Structure formats: structure tokens, C-alpha cells
């Protein structure tokens, strides 16, 4: 069983929330907040700062949170994921897409009202918690749990627990 520790960034600007478009291995695309895998030896804040800067060119100077956490169990696929989602309270720089991993292919400030349609094509464990936060339903740190059943990513079933 592979265990992943990832972090996501809630970065707000004058034109909305920062979202990135990710190109997946199967050729599909989905939108999410910036973030990614936290490397061994990194704190959540260190890894998330690195990921945001790599993906968007923005350097986060201060974080708060986690605002929410997400736990996903996908036994049939052989992995578990824990995500901590932090809110950037100070950042600097210009928005530039230059992801060294080649996953992030676009980044933009999205008005809150326009986030839903972009998130609909992604994983429920990304979109559902983010939609709750955008709707103002998360007043204090909250946890979300999901179970993925099935070994085929094209047809697996995701259940919120």
C-alpha cells in the first residue's frame, strides 16, 4: 500500500481563487488548487511553498491552517492519500506556469462563482471539500474522508465517509 502525503494551497487574489490545470498520465485534464506531494524531510509548509512556487511562480510568505484535511483510501488501487489544505495569507511574485514536472499546464485566478464548473471534472476528494470551503461551510478545521472502490481508474466508485 502506497501512502501519499500531499498539500493544497488556497491562494486568494483580487480576481478570485488561484486554480491550476493538471495534465494527467492518461492524457486527461483537471483543475485543482496548486500543491502536490510533500517530500521526505519537508514540513507541510516547506513542501507546499515549494510546490506553489514551482507550479505558479508565486512565493508564499505565510500560511494558516490547515483549513481542512482529506483522507482517501483506495485499497483496490493500492494507495492511501492524506491531504492538508492550507490558506496563503501573504505571497509575492508574478503568476507564471513553469512546472518542472510538466503536470501543471495552466494557472489562473478564477472568480468564486466560476470555480464549480472547472472543478466538476476532477476527483471528488478535491472538488467537494473545496466547494464546501468556497460556500463558507468550513468555519474551523474540518476533515473529509473518501473511499475508492475498484481497480480501474476509468470506472472506480468514490464514496464519501
> In the prediction, which pLDDT does 153 show?
80
DSSP 38: P
DSSP 52: H
Q: Give strand pairing partners of 23.
A: 29
Cβ pair 47, 55 in contact under 8 A: no
pLDDT in tens, the chain (161 residues): 999 999 999 999 999 999 999 998 888 899 999 999 999 999 999 999 999 999 999 999 999 999 999 999 999 999 999 999 999 999 999 999 989 989 999 999 999 999 999 999 899 999 999 999 999 999 899 999 999 999 988 889 999 99
| CB neighbour class for 154 (10 Å; exposed up to 12, middle 13-18, buried from 19) | exposed
> In the prediction, which pLDDT does 19 show?
98
| Predicted TM-score (pTM) above 0.85 | yes
> In the prediction, which pLDDT does 22 show?
95
> In the prediction, which pLDDT does 93 show?
97
Q: Does CATH number 1.10.645.10 belong to domain 2-160? A: no
Q: Give strand pairing partners of 144.
A: 70
The domain limits of the chain are: 2-160
Those residues whose C-beta lies under 8 Å from the C-beta of residue 4, and which sit 6 or more positions away, are 37, 79, 80, 81, 82
Q: Which residue from 12, 8, 6 is spatially nearest to 90, judged by alpha carbons?
A: 12
Query: How many residues in total does the chain contain?
Result: 161
Amino acid at each position: 500500500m502506497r501512502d501519499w502525503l500531499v498539500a493544497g494551497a488556497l491562494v486568494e487574489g483580487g480576481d478570485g481563487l488561484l486554480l491550476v490545470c493538471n495534465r494527467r498520465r492518461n492524457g486527461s485534464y483537471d483543475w485543482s488548487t496548486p500543491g502536490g506531494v510533500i517530500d521526505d524531510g519537508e514540513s507541510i509548509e516547506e513542501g507546499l511553498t515549494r510546490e506553489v512556487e514551482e507550479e505558479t511562480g508565486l512565493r508564499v510568505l505565510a500560511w494558516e491552517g490547515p483549513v481542512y484535511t482529506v483522507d482517501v483510501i483506495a485499497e483496490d488501487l493500492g494507495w492511501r492519500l492524506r491531504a492538508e489544505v492550507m490558506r496563503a495569507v501573504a505571497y509575492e511574485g508574478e503568476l507564471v506556469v513553469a512546472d518542472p514536472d510538466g503536470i501543471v499546464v495552466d494557472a489562473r485566478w478564477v472568480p468564486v462563482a466560476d470555480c464549480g464548473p472547472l472543478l466538476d471534472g476532477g476527483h471528488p476528494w478535491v472538488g467537494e471539500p473545496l466547494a464546501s470551503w468556497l460556500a463558507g461551510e468550513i468555519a474551523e478545521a474540518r476533515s473529509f474522508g473518501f473511499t475508492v472502490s475498484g481497480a480501474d481508474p476509468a470506472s472506480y466508485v468514490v464514496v464519501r465517509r
